[in-house]
Structures are given as C-alpha cells and as structure tokens.
Amino acid sequence: MAVLASLLGLAVLAGPGRAEPLRPEDSPKPEGGSKRAPISLLLLDTLDIGLEAGTARQARTSLEQALGRLEHVQLSRPDALLSRMSAVPEQVRADLARAVAYVEKGRESLLNLALDEAVESFQSARVLYRRQMAYLEDPDPLVKALMGLAESLAAGGDQEAAASAYREVLVLSPGYEPDPGMVPSKFRSLFEQVRQEASDAPSGGLVVETEPRGASARLDGLTVGTSPLILSAIPAGLHALKLEKKGYAALRKVVEIQRGETTPVQVELQPLRLPALLRQVRTAACGEDPRECEKLLREIGSIGSMTGVVLSQLARLADGRTVLTLAVVRAQGGACVLGARWSPQTAEEVSRSLAWQISDAVDRAGTCPAPPSGLGLHFERSLLGSVEPPSPIAIRRLPQVTHRAVGVAELPPRPIPDGVPPPPPDVTPLWGEWWFWTGIGALVAGGVATALALTLSGREETIYEPDLVRVKIWKNP
C-alpha cells in the first residue's frame, strides 16, 4: 500500500495539474542584485485557437503590460516598428533642425542690420536644406531661407547674387507670390525681373517609370500623377521627387532637370519585407514545419535590430482549459518555447511570471529546453503547439486483386507479400472442445465430494449418469 501511495503521489506531481507557471520570485535573478543588461523585444500579436474574438487580445495586452514593467526591457510592437523604420533618419532630422535655427538667427541679424552675419546664417540654412532636399515634404522651408538670403544680399548691394537666390525660389515654386514683408518695395522690381526671365527660359521634362507600376509621384511636395507618367514644362534645376506605393518602401530622389531636355527616371520599388513576414508567420506558426516559423521570426528580429521576438498563442483544449504558449526567438541562439495555463482571473500573475521567463530566455546562452509538457498540446508540427495530435503515418495498402468468378466458385486466396510470414493454420484450441470442460467439472465435483467425506461422517450415495456426477451425503443424527 505504501508503494502504491507513493506511485500515485508521483503521478499527481507529474500530471497536467502541475503545469503551472513559475512565480516571479522563483525566477533566477542576477547575482549580487546587479542590474540586468538591457534587451529589446518585439511583441507580435497573439494567435488564437478555438477562442472568441478579443480573448487573445486580452492575453497579449496583459503580457505587454507585464513586460513593460521590467526596467531592462525595451518593448516594441509591429506598428511602432514600421513607423520607426519609415521615419526620417536621425541625421536628417538633426540637419533640418539646424537649418531652422540658422533661418531664425539670420532673420534676427537682418533686423539688426548685421548683414554679413545674416548672409552667413541664411547660406548655412540653404546648404543644409539642399543636402536633405529629398526629405522635404514641402519646399517652403528652403524657400524661406532663399528669400532671406536674397534680401540680405540685396541689402548689401550684391544684386547678382540676390537674383540667383530668387531664381532658385522660382525653380521650386514657379507661381510663388512672396509676402510683402519678405520682399521690400525697393527689391520688388528685382524679383519681378527674375520672374520674367524665368518664365521666358526654356524648361525641361521628366519621364517616371517604376516597377511595379502605380506609384504615386510627388514633385517638390505637389502630387503630379501615378507612374508611368510624363511631365513637361518643369523649370530647369534641382527638384525633389518622392514615389510611394502601398506595400513598398517610399523612394526619395533629387532629380536635375536640364533646359530643353527630358530627364528619365526608372526605379524599382523595394517591397516592405516586414509586413510580408508578419503575414507569413501567422501561417507558418500553425504549419507542418516549426523550423520555418522560427526562421521567419529571426528574420523579423534582424530587420528591427531586436534582441528577441515573442510570438504567443492562446488555445482552448477539448476539456475547456485554456493554455498560453510563447515562442521566444533570440538574435543569437534557438527558439525557446514557454507556456502556462491561462484564465482572465490569473492573467496578471501568469503574465508576470512569463515576462521574467522571457527575459531569462533572452539573457541565457546556449540551447533552450524542450517545450513544456503537461499542457495538453502537441509540438511535433507546430512551434507553439497544436490541439490535435499529428496524423499517423498512412499505412500503404496492398493493391486489390480482382478475380473472374465462374458460377459460385470461391475466390483464390490473396497473395502474401515477400517477407511476410504466412498466417497460422486454423486449429481449434484444446479449451474449445466440449469434453474438456466436462472433465474439468467431474474433477471439481469429485474434489468437493472427497472434502465433504473427510469432514462429515455418515452414509453417502454416489449416482453416475452420462455427463453428470451426483453425490448424496447424510449426516448421522
């Protein structure tokens, strides 16, 4: 009994009922209380199996909040990563901010009649805006810098240089009408003279072709059509061209239009790899090859320069239980699969424990342990586990052999493949005969009679009939 009780206790400990998440205090912490190294995690949407809408989103939100409470974890979501990847580069933002500061300084110097300082400031802003011209959604900032530069040069008596600055303004915006405060009346005649010369000067053309077609084109901030397109009457000079198509990276380019010539632009748009990978990973997560899903997650992490990528799945089992599994793919190393039972009542505790386990999985080097057992999921064909077990290997059937029967003739026996032993002969076992059990009954009856005879005294009578033995015993009074 003691052995049986011990075995039952071990079975209870090893059974599904023990598949509970670790508590945060159970998770290993750095020795000596030192801070953990910072890690960057990309948290993908939670997949769901057999659950109503919103339940998986609730689990992901709970896990996201738990990860956000860890000071050493920098958490990102796919939409934020896409925005960051399509955002203006840091160097571009820095140059544009410096250009704005130079324009403000130049305007202040111009008001104080410090013309040399004003020219220097406006010229510095012009250089920076020209350097990052492809990222100007609107040419207005560059126009303001050029107008301030022209006014400073004209006030200093350099009419030719001022006219050159006005000319650049009209290249970017041929119909530009300046504010009277930006062109004093004494310089108005110079601006109108430059406008007349620009309108009489030969213009050029632009042919835009993209692969694939259908990209929206913007020239100097104005939408000019969809590729392929042909543009004419473009002032000669530098122009900012931007091409956009959904699912592809925006292309920014500075083109130079020559007088009397048509400038061709042929570009191949690059597809945005991240959205495509996010779509593929939903299919691969439930596919037949877990390694394919792991490969996609690692590529997603490399695009965003992430330390790890977390993909989660909430599944409802046949018995009504709900389990949450997570695949933590590290930049260096394999994929670690974690899991725990989940319910709205225990969501906070489970998420807090899993957040520490995710951090540990990313920090820890080497191979990851096997997927958690006891959750009721099968990990043979799915990285995150599937509810249904994998289909057994189909047994190859022998080909059917057809025979032509004549009358009521019996079909010949089916041939036995090579290497398969023939079936045993059809022999009735010994215990299948009627006489075997008759003999057994006689022996049992004889034994009973003998026992009674030894224990009882008196008269007895034995009657023999076919297949029957009857014993009568009388006890003496």
Cα 278 to Cα 263: distance, rounded to the nearest angstrom: 38
Q: Where is pLDDT greater, at 264 or 37? A: 264
% residues pLDDT > 90 (the chain): 36
- Higher local confidence (pLDDT), 165 or 291: 165
How confident is the prediction for the chain on average, in pLDDT? Answer: 78
pLDDT at 428 over 50: yes
Q: Listing from the earlier edge strand, what are the strands of the sheet with 229-234? A: 229-234, 204-211, 262-268
pLDDT single digits (tens) 276-295: 887 777 776 656 677 788 88
3-state secondary structure of 230: strand
Q: Which of 25-39, 48-62, 338-352 has the lowest mean pLDDT?
A: 25-39
Of 197, 202, 186, 99, nearest to 150 (Cα)? 186
pLDDT at 194: 92
The ranges assigned to domains in the chain are 37-87+273-389, 90-200, 204-259, 433-475
CA distance 24 to 335: 22
- pLDDT value at residue 406: 37
444 pLDDT more than 80: no
The DSSP secondary structure of 236-293, one letter per residue, reads: SEEEEEEEE-TTB--EEEEEEEPTT-EEEEEEEPPB-HHHHHHHHHHHHTTSS-HHHH
From 71-75, 108-112, 334-338, the region with the lowest mean pLDDT: 334-338
Per-residue pLDDT, averaged over 316-334, amounts to 84
Does residue 138 or residue 23 have the better pLDDT?
Answer: 138
371 φ, ψ to 5°? -55, 150
- Round to whole Å and give the CA distance between 419 and 7: 43
What SS3 state is found at 353?
Answer: helix
- Work out the pLDDT band at 103, boundaries 50, 70, 90: very high
Question: 21: cis peptide before it, omega within 30°?
Answer: no
Q: Is the dihedral of CA 364, 369, 374, 376 positive or negative?
A: positive
Grouping H, G, I as helix, E, B as strand and the rest as coil, residue 108 is: helix
Residue 470 DSSP label: E
Per DSSP, the residues of 164-215 read HHHHHHHHH-TT----TTTS-HHHHHHHHHHHHHHHHS--EEEEEEEESS--
Residue pair 277/286 in contact by the 8 Å Cβ criterion: no
Q: Which has more confidence, 202 or 19?
A: 202
What integer is the mean pLDDT of 88-116?
A: 93
pLDDT at site 265: 95
In degrees and rounded to multiples of 5, residue 42 shows phi and psi of -105, 115
Look at the domain 37-87+273-389 and name its fold. Answer: Rossmann fold (3.40.50)
The identity of residue 51, as a single letter, is L
Average pLDDT over residues 320-339: 85
Q: In the structure, what pLDDT confidence band is assigned to residue 365 with cuts at 50, 70 and 90?
A: low
Distance, CA of 187 to CA of 183 (rounded, Å): 6
User: Can 37-87+273-389 and 90-200 be said to share one CATH topology?
Assistant: no
> Following DSSP, what letter does each residue of 417-453 receive, concatenated?
PTTPPPPPP----GGGSHHHHHHHHHHHHHHHHHHHH
The residues, ordered by sequence, that sit 6+ positions from 141 with a Cβ below 8 Å of its Cβ are 96, 99, 100, 103, 129
Amino acid identity of residue 53, one-letter, is A
φ, ψ for residue 50, nearest 5 deg: 70, 30
Torsions phi, psi of 392, nearest 5? -65, 155
Band (166; pLDDT cuts 50, 70, 90): very high
Burial zone of 473 (CB within 10 Å; 0-12 exposed, 13-18 middle, 19+ buried): middle
Helix (H, G, I), strand (E, B) or coil at 386: strand
Tell me phi and psi for residue 218, to 5 degrees.
-125, 130
Cα–Cα distance, 224 to 178 (Å, whole number):
23
| pLDDT band with cut points at 50, 70 and 90 for residue 261 | very high
CATH architecture assignment, domain 90-200: Alpha Horseshoe (1.25)
- The larger pLDDT score, comparing residue 425 to residue 97, is at 97
pLDDT exceeding 70 applies to what percent of the chain? Answer: 72
| pLDDT, tens digit (0-9, with 9 covering 90-100), for 217-259 | 999 999 999 999 999 999 999 999 999 998 888 999 999 999 9
The token duo for 33 is: 């209380």
What DSSP line would sit under 39-107, residue for residue? EEEEEEEEEEES--TTHHHHHHHHHHHHHHT-TTEEEE-HHHHHHHHHSPPHHHHHHHHHHHHHHHHHH
Kindly report, residue by residue over 184-218, the tens digit of the pLDDT: 777 888 989 999 999 889 999 999 999 999 999 99
In this predicted structure, which of 132-136, 246-250, 332-336 has the lowest mean pLDDT? 332-336
Say how many C-beta atoms besides its own lie within 10 A of residue 444's C-beta: 11
Contact of 324 with 59, CB cutoff 8 Å:
yes
- Paired tokens of 227: 């590729």
Mean pLDDT confidence for 322-335: 83
Amino acid identity at 344: P
